[in-house]
Amino acid sequence: MSELIGVYAQDHIYDLCTSDELGIKGEAIYFDNSAHALSIIRHSCAHLMAQAIKEIYPEAQFFVGPVVDEGFYYDFKVHSKIGEEDLPRIEEKMREIAQKAYPITKRTLLRQEAQEIFKDDELKQAVMSRINDDKLSVYAQGDFEDLCRGPHLPNTKFLQHFKLTKIAGAYLGGDEKAQMLTRIYGIAFANKESLKAYLFQLEEAKKRDHRKVGQEMGLFGFDEEIGAGLPLWLPKGARLRRNLENLLTKALIVRHYEPVRAPEILKSDVWKKSGHYANYKENMYFTIIDEQEYGIKPMNCVGHIKVYQSAMRSYRDLPLRFYEYGVVHRHEKSGVLHGLLRVREFTQDDAHIFCTFAQIKQEINHIIEFTKSIMNAFGFSYEMELSTRPEKSIGSDEKWESATSALKEALDENHISYQIDEGGGAFYGPKIDIKITDAIGRKWQCGTVQIDMNLPERFELAYTDEHNAQVQPVMIHRAILGSFERFIAILTEHFGGEFPLFIAPTQAILIPIGEAQLSYARALREKILAQSDAYVEILDKNETLGKRIRDAEKQRVPLIVVLGNKEVESKVLAIRDRREKKQYELPEDELIQMLKQKIGEVHF
């Protein structure tokens, strides 16, 4: 007897099939956790959730319910107020519906028919207004039906391993001027084990949430009077950021990058010339000065082009590597703002390399080596994705093939694992995206490396070659961290705030037992500051010793040094090492040397 192994799929029609039938029917969708299978499972689960909501709240109207990176969601509106406490009830109803094993069926309607069926549903009318096709598909299960492109599983009984994860507000179609809808997120997997592992990761992620940890540690904050998406860096967070910048700057200097700085506001004429005005205007901020329109920069490339144009360039000058910790502003919608991960003002670790076509491969090799050193320093595993020429693009086939081959060869020679996103490159050149995996297995998009054959042409960049001819250079956009804000958010969650000593905002806290030890604590702090790059605080609040030690622990400082009479007299210090999870004693001079060594031993 043949084993039942999956669901047969062809042209959005689904049926169960056995291994014997596969040769006749074709492709099978297995009940596994592959991207294709999970997309169908989660899409079907979104409709299961909507059906459950409709049964509990009969007046509910639904907008869209797509599959997203974190699972699925549905946007809808109801008259009742729904909160986190209602999710278990909706889940229970979903399980009840799944057990009824409703077939999931598809039918195709003409637009006029669909408009008649959903004539009293303003959200469905809004969905249809966004669809250009004259034929619309509707999926039904039990007495619930909804407009949908599909695909779906053939029956609700296949949906067993799911969990609703959170509830939020969402503007209709992402438009801040439109009505606010309710959005419920959920997750679904092919088996119980995968769901259990994901839920464990979710709980761990809540503990590590950079917004929570950042507040506890006093790293950064936001103020409504200043504006959404505009972070305030508090002293500890600013020190953390400075430590990261210092490490990066040292690495850039030895790799022969030159610092530059461009204005944060430029005339709109230059943004028109670059193409940003036509293609990126809605994400930019503009103002009028002396009857002339200016745009606040959303990226640093145009300023660096102007630096390149500030002098005549020869082939002997290339490659030129310019870097800037450039502050940029982008008009992100309020609904997508998320702590430091998505803000409206951020600082890129930006660099632009101007080189010849023959130098592309060596420059990509340098960037990959640089990336390795940074990721290894923080213990990140990572992978890269190579995106190739899209349908709409500029430049000759020869240039595209040469640039793409240079990226592939560099990745292969460095033994870098990478995926290929066919047609996913920018219109002006191929690119590499850097994706890191954190301590609990989540993947994050960080840096990017893009080869640009568009801006050099638009701005008529040139260098003089060995034959005294004018030749257009290649421009490589390169950001390894992506932005300091996003990278620090990822670091915070990766380490749960337990930053390695070399990057921590405070390396040690001195806790004098009483007033008698305070003068020694101050003298010791000054000595450490003078003789090392470590930052030391004194915790001398008028509180019990136990309370002060707990406060130091909450701040996640690597070393806690308690100072009593014995320590003052002997100059041998009792140290609590959070990273090593042990206690030991060190003479004060050896403590200073240890701090110098640990901070100095890390290089990018």
Pairing of strands 418-421, 381-387: parallel
Number of neighbouring beta carbons within 10 Å of residue 362: 12
Tens of pLDDT along 352-403? Answer: 999 999 999 999 999 999 999 999 999 998 889 999 998 877 778 888 888 8
The predicted pLDDT at position 28 comes to 44
Q: Rounded to an integer, what distance in angstroms lies between the CA atom of residue 450 and that of residue 579?
A: 38
Taking a C-beta distance cutoff of 8 angstroms, is the pair 326, 372 a contact?
no
pLDDT at 479: 94
- Catalytic (active-site) positions: 301, 330, 348, 350, 352, 431, 477
Compute, in degrees rounded to 10, the torsion defined by CA atoms 317, 323, 326, 329: 70
Planar angle of CA 301, 279, 450, nearest 5 degrees: 40
* 280-289 confidence digits (pLDDT tens): 899 999 999 9
Q: Which residues of the chain have pLDDT under 70?
A: 1-32
Residue with tokens 């040397």: 593
Quick one: 508-600 is in which CATH superfamily? Anticodon-binding domain (3.40.50.800)
- Per the DSSP assignment, residues forming a β-bridge with 109 are 136
What are the extents of the domains in the chain?
Answer: 31-208, 216-262+297-379+441-495, 508-600
Q: Does domain 216-262+297-379+441-495 have CATH number 3.40.50.2000?
A: no
Residues counted in the chain? 604
How far is CA 532 from each of CA 51, 242, 512, 535, 601, rounded to the nearest angstrom? Answer: 63, 16, 21, 8, 13
Query: Distances in Å between the alpha carbon of 377 and those of 247, 374, 501, 604?
Result: 11, 5, 12, 7
Q: Name the helix (H) or strand (E) containing 114.
A: helix 111-117
- Contacts (Cβ under 8 Å, ≥6 apart) of 351: 252, 257, 321, 322, 323, 324, 477, 478, 479
| Fold of domain 31-208 | Threonyl-tRNA Synthetase; Chain A, domain 2 (3.30.980)
Q: How far apart, in whole angstroms, are the C-alpha atoms of residue 48 and residue 61?
A: 15
Query: What pLDDT does residue 400 have?
Result: 86
Locate tokens 């999956």: which residue? 6
pLDDT tens profile 232-285: 999 999 999 999 999 999 999 999 999 999 999 999 999 999 988 988 899 999
The tokens of 196 are what?
């259990």
> At a CB cut-off of 8 Å and minimum separation 6, what does 170 contact?
75, 180, 181, 182, 183, 335
Cβ-count burial of 584 within 10 angstroms (0-12 exposed, 13-18 middle, 19+ buried)?
A: exposed
CA atoms within 13 A of residue 73's CA, in its CB half-sphere: 17
Do the bridges between strand 508-512 and strand 536-538 make them parallel or antiparallel, or are there none, so unpaired?
Answer: parallel
> Do you find a cis peptide bond into 390, omega within 30 degrees of 0?
no
Coil, strand, or helix at residue 537?
Answer: strand
Q: Are strands 285-289 and 572-577 parallel, antiparallel or unpaired?
A: unpaired
- Separation of first and last alpha carbons in the chain: 60
Strand segments (E) across 453-568: 463-464, 470-471, 474-479, 508-512, 536-538, 559-563
